[in-house]
Chain A
């Protein structure tokens, strides 16, 4: 479908408007003097990159990885550790972080893709916990308390300390990730991954080495997860094991399912909905009674149960059926 034609469908129109708002978000927050919103916006964009990367394996491939937040940690710690030792250049930090995340993803994928079902869920969780505990045991880098770091430097190119430029950098990377994911989903590679989700045996009978395809997808997904980790560390100028706690991995799954699994923009919708829910439930509950906002998860938890039970297609399915 051509770009113009896709704008006529409700989904296309909403997505285009959404991307437009995201593209000019720093101008909007400046105009309305809402600095805080820009920081939420930055986190939404970063989390969306991670959610898209998880969606590549979870949504398209049916591989329920319960340890995706580990790539936040690996990307973040690679940047943080290098910066702690005086290597401030992003040209060094970023490639190292991406390579580290990719290698870890390849190793975890090679071991865990041998298993199925609950075993796969749990082994990915276990590998993530392993890195989590290693992070908590690194006395030199703050152990459980984490570490304040200085942001990556790209001399002459971009000032990462400027909130708006950093936001636009993240947004550009989000667009890149979306572009990559759309190519991935429609390429033969992605079609094999999707085919293996619906019928693994048939794909194997057709002669596709499903394991190798899955491993490649898992590794790619880890690389993009690492990218999100780099950005997350730069956003807060801080790294800690909490970045990769298993609750964050759970949050990422929630986001992907909430947005719509195996859809290009689903993870983005999901991330926005997740953060908006979090930020709006607090004041809403506070309105009911002062101090209740703190307990927002008591509402959010049952909402997840309802989403799991009754909202299979996620937000994406609200915009009608997809065409191709």
Chain B
């Protein structure tokens, strides 16, 4: 029972990280109509920049806090140089250009920081366990991710639903040309939204770094998962992204945690441990295919 609870929490933690990544993706698609494959590169850059800043400042919190404006700046620069020219293009050209950006960023990291992976240590004050229930310890760092992730999700929901910026974002998502005609500076709005997405991606990257590792291409696989999430949730829908991220997080963790034992009942131990992650990944894609067959525009997507 405790084991189950811990795994569910791990799933929530993974889901929240993915939500941070998917939120930026779904915003840029919903508002700018932009397919940004390079979003995973921002995730990776966030982790690398944080690694560098943590090394300089010798403090996880300070380094992480400095890394956020840095990724925002990076996002704004990428938007100004490349993305801005892509908004009016069709999806194929966007895929092509942002695919090129992935190659660029992966090599850039190799040039600047070298091919070897980096690791960010879990900060000392979080390097312990907390009792989430009496007698059930849980790593404090993972718990911190859940707290930060949930806070950011709430902040984002508040931002989109309750603020003027959010109002413009929602208006932009439903009719871009109209809000432009109403005198809203859409270029600035687009830059802001892209930068915001970059910050969320960078935050996800740097928070994931102590658990996984900081390496080249770290954003690529998780980016595909983030796309799966926004497609399941319905492109452009923050709520959909959240629900889908939670579902995908649970499938992934449950698959990893429980499938090996289940498979061992009829497979050899080594075959089971190599098949289990594959099956949990496959499950995610099957869920996505199922959702799309049932609802071709995702769970919360706008029907056309």
- Interface set of A (CB-CB < 8 Å, partner B): 58, 64, 66, 111-112, 114-119, 121-123, 125-127, 129-130, 133-134, 136-140, 143, 246-247, 250, 253-254, 257, 294-298, 300-305, 307-309, 312
Judge whether B282 and A254 touch: CB under 8 Å: no
Q: Is B265 interfacial (CB-CB < 8 Å)?
A: no
CB proximity of B209 to chain A, nearest CB, Å: 23
Judge whether B95 and A253 touch: CB under 8 Å: yes
- Could you say which of A119, A129, A257, A298 contacts B285, with CB atoms under 8 Å apart? A129
Judge whether B279 and A301 touch: CB under 8 Å: no
Query: In the complex the two chains form, what is the Cα distance from A309 to B278 in whole Å?
Result: 37
- Could you say which of A118, A136, A254, A308 contacts B29, with CB atoms under 8 Å apart? A118
Main SS class of interface, B: helix
- Could you say which of B89, B110, B286 contacts A308, with CB atoms under 8 Å apart? B89
Query: In the complex the two chains form, what is the Cα distance from A122 to B234 in whole Å?
Result: 12
Q: Is B85 interfacial (CB-CB < 8 Å)?
A: yes
Judge whether A298 and B101 touch: CB under 8 Å: no
- Could you say which of B99, B282, B292 contacts A133, with CB atoms under 8 Å apart? B282
Q: Which residue of B lies closest to A296 (CB)?
A: B107
- Residues of B194-237 at the interface with A, using a CB-CB cut-off of 8 Å, are 220, 224, 227-228, 231, 235
- Could you say which of A117, A126, A253 contacts B99, with CB atoms under 8 Å apart? A253
Number of chain B interface residues as a range: 35 or more
CB proximity of B83 to chain A, nearest CB, Å: 10
Judge whether A123 and B231 touch: CB under 8 Å: yes
Query: In the complex the two chains form, what is the Cα distance from A253 to B97 in whole Å?
Result: 11
Query: In the complex the two chains form, what is the Cα distance from A127 to B281 in whole Å?
Result: 11
When distances are taken between beta carbons in the complex, the residues of chain B under 8 Å from A117 are: 91
Beyond A115-B292, A308-B89, 5 additional contacts (C-beta under 8 Å) are A118-B29, A125-B227, A298-B107, A303-B100, A308-B93
Q: Which residue of A lies closest to B97 (CB)?
A: A308
Judge whether B95 and A121 touch: CB under 8 Å: yes
When distances are taken between beta carbons in the complex, the residues of chain B under 8 Å from A137 are: 274-279, 282
Judge whether A304 and B107 touch: CB under 8 Å: no
Q: Given the interface contacts A127-B289, A246-B224, A301-B103, does A119 sit within 8 Å of B275 by beta carbon?
A: no
When distances are taken between beta carbons in the complex, the residues of chain A under 8 Å from B111 are: 295, 298
When distances are taken between beta carbons in the complex, the residues of chain B under 8 Å from A295 are: 107, 110-111
Judge whether B107 and A130 touch: CB under 8 Å: no
Q: Is B245 interfacial (CB-CB < 8 Å)?
A: no
Judge whether B292 and A111 touch: CB under 8 Å: yes
Judge whether B97 and A121 touch: CB under 8 Å: no
When distances are taken between beta carbons in the complex, the residues of chain B under 8 Å from A121 are: 35, 91, 95
